[in-house]
């Protein structure tokens, strides 16, 4: 796939997600779609899991907005970078956020298959999100990862 088409798909996904438009996002995904968010320790495989993951994400971050500022690709993989803005809400993370909108750098790795997005690895700094949201990174990591967060020996 050429770089222009890859970025066109990534940009369309950014627009759909920034509108919290799950149906529009789902139209861009291959049936084997794999979404990995290391900061949250989550993986969603296939269309049903991805639809559920996006729906839950937008409950936690109802004003999510991403702007892709640059990209590089090699014909099989596309890397995009930019800025994400989002306000942490609810109790998904076991904390009470301050209601302020966080702004963070983001890096996204995309894979493609059959002219659709088949993979997304979404990277951002969880500590920066927590700091801007007025919550403890340690508390959020314990909620997300339990004892595996390595916090027990501090």
- Show pLDDT as tens, one digit a residue, over the chain (154 residues): 899 999 999 999 999 999 999 999 999 999 999 999 999 999 999 999 999 999 999 999 999 999 999 999 998 899 999 999 999 998 889 899 999 999 999 999 999 999 999 999 999 999 999 999 999 999 999 999 997 655 444 4
* 56 CB-side CA count, 13 A: 13
- The confidence score (pLDDT) of residue 148 equals 60
- Cα–Cα distances (Å) from 71 to 3, 67, 78, in that order, read 9, 12, 7
Length of the chain in residues, anyone?
154
DSSP three-state, residue 75: coil
Helix axes 126-133, 137-145, angle to 10 degrees: 120
Please say whether the dihedral angle defined by the alpha carbons of residues 76, 35, 106 and 55, taken in this order, is positive or negative: positive
The two tokens of residue 36 are 């990995």
d(CA 74, CA 77): 6
DSSP state of 100: P
- The confidence score (pLDDT) of residue 6 equals 97
Element of type H or E holding 142: helix 137-145
- Cα–Cα distances (Å) from 51 to 70, 86, 103, in that order, read 26, 19, 24
Which residue reads 């595996």 in tokens? 148
């Amino acid at each position: 796939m050429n770089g222009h088409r890859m970025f066109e798909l990534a940009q369309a996904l950014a627009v759909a997600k920034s509108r919290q438009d799950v149906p529009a996002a789902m139209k861009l995904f291959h049936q084997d779609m794999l979404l990995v968010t290391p900061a949250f320790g989550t993986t969603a495989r296939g269309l049903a899991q991805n639809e559920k993951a996006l729906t839950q994400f937008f409950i936690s971050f109802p004003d999510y907005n991403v702007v892709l500022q640059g990209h590089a690709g090699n014909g099989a993989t596309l890397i995009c970078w930019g800025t994400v803005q989002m306000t942490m809400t609810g109790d998904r993370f076991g904390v009470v956020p301050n209601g302020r909108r966080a702004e963070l750098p983001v890096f996204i790795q995309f894979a493609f298959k059959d002219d659709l997005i088949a993979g997304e690895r979404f990277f951002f700094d969880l500590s920066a999100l927590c700091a801007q949201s007025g919550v403890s990174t340690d508390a959020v990591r314990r909620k997300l990862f339990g004892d595996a967060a390595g916090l027990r020996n501090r």
